[in-house]
Amino acid sequence: MLNKHLDFEKEIGELDALIAELKHLSTDPSVRADAATKQIDIEARIAEIEALRQEKLCQIFSNLTPWQKVQMARHVERPYTLDYLRILFQDFLELHGDRINADDAAIVGGLAKFGGQSVVVIGHQKARDLKERQLRNFGSARPAGFRKALRLMQMAQKFKKPIFVFVDTPAAEANLMAEEEGISRTIALCLQEMVLISVPIIVVVIGEGGSGGALGIAVGDKILMLEHAVYSVIPPEGCAAILWNDRTRAADASDALKLTAQHALEFGIIDEILPEPLGGAHRNVGEMAETLREAFTRTLAELQRYSADILLENRYQKFRNLGMWDDPALVLPETPKPRRTRTRKE
Amino acid sequence: MNRGGWFRRSPRSKAAADVPDGLWIKCPRCEDIGFAKDVERNLNVCLKCNYHHKLRAKERLALMVDEGSFEEMDAEVKALDPLGFPDYGDKITRARTNTGLTDAILTGYARIAEQSLIIGVADFAFMGGSMGSVVGEKIARAMEKGVKDRLPVVLITANGGGARMQEGLLSLMQMAKTSAASARLGQAGVPYIVVLTDPTMAGVFASYASLGDVILAEPGALIGFAGRRVGNQDLGGKLPDDFQTSEFQWRSGQIDRIVPRKELKETLGTLLAFFAEEGVHAQQTS
């Protein structure tokens, strides 16, 4: 059985168990009678522990280290794309296949209604039980998945429907078959074509933003990211292997890679961090979904104000300008002086 | 060939073996020891096994473009260390000293067989040719100049490091940036030719290096998606002996032609001449 609690969550788990036990005991009349004679207030005791639990949650989750965030992003109970889809969208009709030779279950997509409006939704899909995990390939998409995603985006463009993208993948599939089927070219093509899709694209990184496999469907007008999600050029374990020849130093690599939502915002790579419920999205999926709904509604309304031309130009410039370098040859134009002749005329 | 081997070997000792500054040069594949001068005269291709030694960007330019035609642009664009990544600052400084380059790519105007073009040449000796902000920016600028000046763009890759992890997400985003610039080249109808050389991996192969109208590769180059040390997963049964080589990628439909080094310039000349010719609709539209 999977251990549902991460190391740093253990204390919370213990308190949860304690609360559950007390609640269970409090329903037993003989225990209540015994407690009464000993002047123990079970309800007060429960409330006390719940307060302690709340305090612990605040303490732990306001100061997660980058490596803890990686673990949060990979948490087995973390809500996945389809979990949000069920709450946020109506009439979801999943569409399948890359129209070449396969359907990749690691990427789901289809038609849906959002707030009464027809939209296209695409996302990586992870799974919890072993059988479905294999079916979903742990959320690692093959070329067929990226082709399906691109096909659905091009259909969205054809019918002028906005696109919502959920990102949650450890990485793109890298095995022999993926290599033979041209995984690199397929991702590259997605990157190239997504800047030409003339409808709003709203991306949200809900869990793991695993390098090219994530970016391959994440070229959008607005990039949102959940508070404890991560987005990285390389898995921390891989980075540790290259840097120190030691995969176990993933925590150090997580620090070095600056892969948290907070860093991504700082570097201008994402537009907004969406706060998670205390203790992480999995502790209150409904609340998390409502935060997403508000952000989606607001962002979509903003993007729909732009013409297709402006949308595309802005998206191009957004990605065109990413990166940090030093260019001594760059001369910024001087601030123009007020043109007096013109003002006099007016 | 020691497939996928360049990452396992110490890159430093490998680079040292490659530099033909001695009298003798040892082929890393067949281990034949030949006269450096002879190998050099053979364009740094092993006389015995046809192994294509890695070339420095300037050596590559000397082979590929008309003499004296290269005019570098954006030479001063330099890397920063935005993440404060362990040892990155030192690595950059060392790479600059050792290579005499500012970063892992040279871009500029040039001519091949008297035809003007914009060329970019990566240099593996500079941090494995990895793509950070500078490489991405220089490629995007080169492509935008291609659109503006209506000049074909030729990029010669040698980017074993893929996206440069020392710049984290900023490097990853260079994949989107260069691919976006490639989209504009496409819209403008400006030809874009890629020459894949040893090695071209990961974030580079999964972005601009896979987007050429025509994609050529030198024989025996390491070309693929995931480096061996990045993933720890089983890559799927028995791998073919030539896994992640030019030949493997050609067989998989990812490359137009494998072109030996001595024929590359001529092939590029032919391609440029083909694209330069006015198309069937030229007279109607203009």
Contact indicator for A249, A279 with CB cutoff of 8 Å: no
Residue A244 has which token pair?
């120190």
Is residue A26 included in any domain, yes or no?
yes
- For residues A154 and A271, state if they share a domain: yes
Same domain, A139 and A102: yes
Residues 225-244 of B with CB under 8 A from A: 225-227, 229-237, 239-240, 243-244
Model's pTM, two decimal places?
Answer: 0.90
Note whether A312 contacts B: Cβ–Cβ < 8 A. no
CB-nearest partner of A182 from B167, B181, B253: B253
Question: Which of A204, A259, A282 has its CA nearest to residue A67?
Answer: A259
* Domain hosting residue A173, numbered range: 71-320
Complex-level ipTM: 0.90
* CA A235 vs CA A239, B87, B104: distances in Å: 6, 19, 23
- How far apart are alpha carbons A234 and A254 in whole angstroms? 10
Domain count for chain A: 2
Measured between CA atoms, the residue of chain B closest to residue A181 is: B252
> Does A39 score more than 50 pLDDT?
yes
Confidence check: pLDDT of B24 > 90:
no
A263 and A129 belong to one structural domain? yes
Q: Where are the domains of chain B?
A: 55-276
Q: Which of 238-277 (A) contact B at CB < 8 A?
A: 238-239, 241-243, 247, 256-259, 263-264, 267, 269
Phi–psi pair at A227, nearest 5 degrees: -55, -40
Q: What mean pLDDT comes out for the span B22-42?
A: 86
Statement to judge: residues A225 and A280 lie in one domain: yes
As a whole number of angstroms, the distance between CA A166 and CA A43 comes to: 42
One domain, residues A189 and A80: yes
Min Cα–Cα distance to chain B from A241, Å: 6
Averaged pLDDT for residues A297-323: 97
Residues A258, B237: C-beta atoms closer than 8 Å: no
Check CB contact under 8 Å for B209 and A188: yes
Q: Which A residues 282-301 touch B at CB under 8 Å?
A: none
Distance from CA of B153 to the nearest CA of A (A): 16
Question: Is it true that the peptide bond before B199 is cis, omega within 30 degrees of 0?
Answer: yes
Indicate yes or no: CB of A327 within 8 angstroms of CB of B76.
Answer: yes
pLDDT higher than 90, residue A340: no
* Residue A181 sits in the same domain as residue A216: yes
Among the partner residues A180, A316, A326, nearest to B180 by beta-carbon distance: A316
Q: From residue B254, give the alpha-carbon distance in Å to each of A182, B41, B209, B245.
A: 6, 31, 11, 11
Residue in chain A closest to B178 (alpha carbons) equals: A320
Shared domain for A56 and A205, answered yes or no, is no
Percentage of residues in chain B having pLDDT higher than 90: 70
H-helix or E-strand containing A201?
Answer: strand A201-210
The CATH number linked to A225 is: 3.90.226.10
Residues A45 and A148 in one domain: no
Inform me whether the C-beta atom of residue B176 falls under 8 Å from chain A C-beta atoms.
Answer: yes
A185 touches chain B (CB under 8 A): yes
Give tens-digit pLDDT for B132-178: 999 999 999 999 999 999 999 999 999 888 999 999 999 999 999 99
Q: What is the mean pLDDT of chain A?
A: 92
What's the fold here for domain B55-276? 2-enoyl-CoA Hydratase; Chain A, domain 1 (3.90.226)
One domain, residues A203 and A252: yes
Q: Is A40 found in the same domain as A89? A: no
Q: What is the pLDDT of residue B1?
A: 41
Looking at the domain assignment, is residue A332 inside a domain? no
- What pLDDT score does A62 carry? 87
- Say what the pLDDT of residue B229 is: 53
- Residue A191: which residues within 8 A CB-CB, separation 6 or more? A215, A216, A219, B175, B176, B179, B180, B207
Asked if A191 and B82 come within 8 Å (Cβ–Cβ), the reply is: no
Query: Which chain A residue is nearest to residue B84, measuring alpha carbons?
Result: A256
Check residue B282 and give its pLDDT: 54
CA distance B152 to chain A (A): 18
Ordered DSSP codes for B258-274: E--HHHHHHHHHHHHHH
In a domain, A313, yes or no: yes
pLDDT of residue A343: 44
CA neighbor of A102 nearest in space, from A167, A186, A216, A163: A186
CA distances B226 to B2, B83, B161, B262, Å, are 16, 24, 10, 29
Q: Nearest by CB to A188, which of B163, B207, B239?
A: B207
Mean pLDDT of B182-191: 96
Q: A-contacting residues of B 5-24, CB under 8 Å? A: none
Residues A83, A107, single domain; the answer is yes
Looking at the structure, tell me whether residues A77 and A44 fall in a common domain. Answer: no
Cβ distance B252 to A181 less than 8 Å, yes or no, reads yes
What is the average pLDDT across A327-343?
68
> Is A87 within a domain?
yes
Cβ contacts of A174 on chain B, cutoff 8 Å: 225-226, 230-231, 233, 235
Contact between chains at A234 and B252 (C-beta distance less than 8 A): no
A181, B239: Cβ pair inside 8 Å? no
- Sequence-ordered list of residues with C-beta below 8 angstroms from that of A327, at least 6 positions apart, any chain: B74, B76, B77, B78, B137
Among partner residues B140, B165, B206, which is closest to A188 by beta-carbon distance? B206
Does residue A228 lie within any of the structural domains? yes
